[in-house]
Amino acid sequence: MYNVYVIYPIGIIKWIFKYAFLSLFLGAAFTYKAHTPDFTVRSYKPSYFYKHHLNKLKTKGIIDETKYEKLLK
């Protein structure tokens, strides 16, 4: 049996190590960010489709005007 070694240029090896380090760093950063709670208050604006759905419910008589206004706030 012959031992056949493929000799890669040193630039490709360095690039592979840099890419591996970068992917590990980005994975750790995204994991940290995903598990950090965010308690800021966001303003809520109902979408067009939600308003249309509520209008359909109101015209069918499933919800009344007070419930409609309450759900839009």
Q: Is the pTM of this model over 0.85?
A: no
Look at the chain and report how many structural domains it folds into.
1
User: Is there a domain that residue 18 lies in?
Assistant: yes
pLDDT at 44 over 90: no
User: Is there a domain that residue 60 lies in?
Assistant: yes
Structure tokens at 42: 């966001």
User: Is there a domain that residue 19 lies in?
Assistant: yes
User: Is there a domain that residue 3 lies in?
Assistant: no
Using alpha carbons only, give the angle 25, 27, 38 rounded to the nearest 5 degrees.
Answer: 110
User: What average pLDDT does the chain have?
Assistant: 88
SS (H, E, C) the chain: CCCCCCCCCHHHHHHHHHHHHHHHHHHHHHHHHHCCCCCCCCCCCCCHHHHHHHHHHHHHCCCCHHHHHHHHC
User: Is there a domain that residue 35 lies in?
Assistant: yes
What domain range includes position 38? 10-72
pLDDT at 63 over 90: yes
